[in-house]
Structure 1
Amino acid sequence: MLSSLTRLQRYYLYYTGIFLLFVVLLAALERAGMPARWVGYAFLVFTVSMYATIGVFSRTTDVSEYYVAGRRVPAFFNGMATGADWMSAASFMGLAGTLYLQGFQGLAYVIGWTGGFVLVALLLAPYLRRFGQYTIPDFLSARYGGNTIRLIAVFAAILASFVYVVAQIYGVGVITSRFVSLQFEVGVFVGLAGILVCSFLGGMRAVTWTQVAQYLILIVAYITPVAILSYNVTGVPVPQMVYGQVLSEVSKLEEKLFDSPTELEVRDRYRERADQYAQKIMQLPHSLTQERERLSIQINELKSSDVQMREIVLLERQRRELPQDPAQARERWEKEMYEALARSKPPLRHAEPFPGDSEAERNAQRINFLALIFCLTIGTAALPHVLMRYYTTPTVAQARQSVFWSLLFIIILYVTAPAYAVFAKFEVLSNLAGIPIAKLPGWVAAWAKVGLVSIEDINGDGIMQFAELSLNPDVIVLATPEIAGMPYVVSGLVAAGALAAALSTADGLLLTITSALSHDVYYRVFRPQSSTQFRLVIAKSLLLVVAVLAATVAAQKPGTILSMVAWAFSIAGSAFFPALVLGIFWARATRAGAIAGMLVGLSLTVYYILRLEFGGYSWLGFSDGPLNPWFHLQSTSAGVFGILAGFVTNIAVSLMTRPSPQAAEFLERIRRPGGREESP
Structure 2
Amino acid sequence: MKLWSIIAIGVYLLILLTIGYYSYKKTSNLSDYMIGGRGLGPLVTALSAGASDMSGWMLMGLPGAVYLTGISNIWIGIGLTVGAYFNYLLLAPRFRVYTEIANDSMTIPDYLENRFKDKSNILRLVSGIVILVFFILYVSSGLVAGGKLFVDTYKLTYTMGVVVTLSVVVLYTYYGGFLAVSLTDFFQGTLMFVCLITVPVVAYMNIGVDSGTFVNKVKAIDPKLFDIFRGTSIASIISLLAWGLGYFGQPHIIVRFMAIKSAKELKSARRIGIGWMAIGLLGAVVSGIIGLVYFTEHNTPLSDPETVFLRLGDILFHPFITGIILSAVLAAIMSTISSQLLVCSSSITKDFYLAFFNKEASEKQQMVIGKLAVLVVAAFATVLAYLPNKTILDIVGQAWAGFGSSFGPVLLLSLYWKRMTKWGALSGMIVGGITVLLWIVLGLSSFLYEMIPGFSLSLLSVIIVSLLTKKPDSDVSNQFNKMENILTDMK
With structure 1 as the length reference, what TM-score do the two structures score?
0.67
Matching of residue 208 in structure 1 with residue 182 in structure 2? yes
Question: SS where residue 419 of structure 2 aligns?
Answer: coil
Q: Within 5 A, what are the aligned runs for 1:106-505?
A: 106-131=73-98, 132=100, 133-146=105-118, 147-234=121-208, 246-254=214-222, 349-355=224-230, 365-374=233-242, 376-432=243-299, 471-482=303-314, 486-505=317-336
Residue 338 of structure 1: aligned partner: none
Counterparts of 1:232 and 1:413, CA distance in 2: 21
Counterparts of 1:248 and 1:115, CA distance in 2: 31
Structure 2 letter corresponding to 1:672: N
Query: Which range is displaced more, 422-431 or 384-393?
Result: 422-431
Listed one character per residue, the Cα deviations across residues 31-89 of structure 1 (whole Å, up to 9, x for unaligned) are xxxxx442343233221111001101110231111111111111122212212212210
**Residues 177, 472 of structure 1: CA spacing in aligned structure 2 closer, same or farther, 3 A cutoff?**
closer
2:7 to 22, 42, 46: 42
Percent of paired sites with the same residue: 25
CA contact (8 A) 1:598 1:646 kept: yes
**Residues 108, 245 of structure 1: CA spacing in aligned structure 2 closer, same or farther, 3 A cutoff?**
farther
Question: SS where residue 200 of structure 1 aligns?
Answer: helix
Structure 1 letter corresponding to 2:234: R
Structure (1/2) with the larger helix percentage: 2
Counterparts of 1:490 and 1:560, CA distance in 2: 28
Instruction: Write out the 4+ residue segments of structure 1 that deviate beyond 6 Å after TM superposition.
Output: none
Give the superposition deviation at 1:386.
0.1
Q: Within 5 A, what are the aligned runs for 1:516-665?
A: 516-557=347-388, 559-612=390-443, 629=444, 633-634=447-448, 637-661=449-473, 662-665=475-478
Give the superposition deviation at 1:646.
0.7
**Residues 671, 544 of structure 1: CA spacing in aligned structure 2 closer, same or farther, 3 A cutoff?**
same
Residue 671 of structure 1: aligned partner: 484
CA contact (8 A) 2:248 2:409 kept: no
Question: SS where residue 524 of structure 1 aligns?
Answer: helix
Counterparts of 1:485 and 1:400, CA distance in 2: 38
Unaligned runs of 5+ in 2: none
Counterparts of 2:8 and 2:386, CA distance in 1: 23
> Highest Rg: 1 or 2?
1
**Residues 57, 486 of structure 1: CA spacing in aligned structure 2 closer, same or farther, 3 A cutoff?**
closer
Question: SS where residue 201 of structure 1 aligns?
Answer: helix
Give the superposition deviation at 1:473.
3.5
Structure 2 letter corresponding to 1:500: A
Structure 2 letter corresponding to 1:668: N
Counterparts of 2:484 and 2:171, CA distance in 1: 39
Counterparts of 2:326 and 2:388, CA distance in 1: 19
Unaligned runs of 5+ in 1: 1-35, 237-241, 256-348, 357-361, 433-439, 441-468, 613-628
RMSD: 2.2
Question: SS where residue 137 of structure 1 aligns?
Answer: helix
Give the superposition deviation at 1:550.
1.2
Counterparts of 1:420 and 1:162, CA distance in 2: 30
CA contact (8 A) 2:64 2:306 kept: yes
Question: SS where residue 222 of structure 2 aligns?
Answer: helix
Counterparts of 1:94 and 1:479, CA distance in 2: 14
Give the superposition deviation at 1:153.
1.0
Question: SS where residue 70 of structure 2 aligns?
Answer: helix
CA contact (8 A) 1:84 1:501 kept: yes
Q: Within 5 A, what are the aligned runs for 1:7-46?
A: 36-46=1-11
Give the superposition deviation at 1:537.
0.2
Counterparts of 1:470 and 1:175, CA distance in 2: 14
Listed one character per residue, the Cα deviations across residues 277-330 of structure 1 (whole Å, up to 9, x for unaligned) are xxxxxxxxxxxxxxxxxxxxxxxxxxxxxxxxxxxxxxxxxxxxxxxxxxxxxx
Listed one character per residue, the Cα deviations across residues 504-524 of structure 1 (whole Å, up to 9, x for unaligned) are 111100001111111122123
Structure 1 letter corresponding to 2:383: T
Give the superposition deviation at 1:184.
0.7
Q: Within 5 A, what are the aligned runs for 1:45-64?
A: 45-59=10-24, 60-64=27-31
Residue 509 of structure 1: aligned partner: 340
CA contact (8 A) 1:160 1:571 kept: yes
Listed one character per residue, the Cα deviations across residues 537-596 of structure 1 (whole Å, up to 9, x for unaligned) are 000011111112212321345511111111111101110011111111112211112211
CA contact (8 A) 2:423 2:469 kept: yes
Structure 2 letter corresponding to 1:524: A
CA contact (8 A) 2:310 2:325 kept: yes
Structure 2 letter corresponding to 1:203: G
Give the superposition deviation at 1:387.
0.1
Structure 1 letter corresponding to 2:312: T
Listed one character per residue, the Cα deviations across residues 391-449 of structure 1 (whole Å, up to 9, x for unaligned) are 111111113332322212222211212211221111133221xxxxxxx6xxxxxxxxx
CA contact (8 A) 2:421 2:471 kept: yes
CA contact (8 A) 2:74 2:228 kept: no
Counterparts of 2:322 and 2:225, CA distance in 1: 25
Aligned length: 480
CA contact (8 A) 2:2 2:319 kept: no
Give the superposition deviation at 1:354.
3.4
Counterparts of 1:211 and 1:563, CA distance in 2: 24
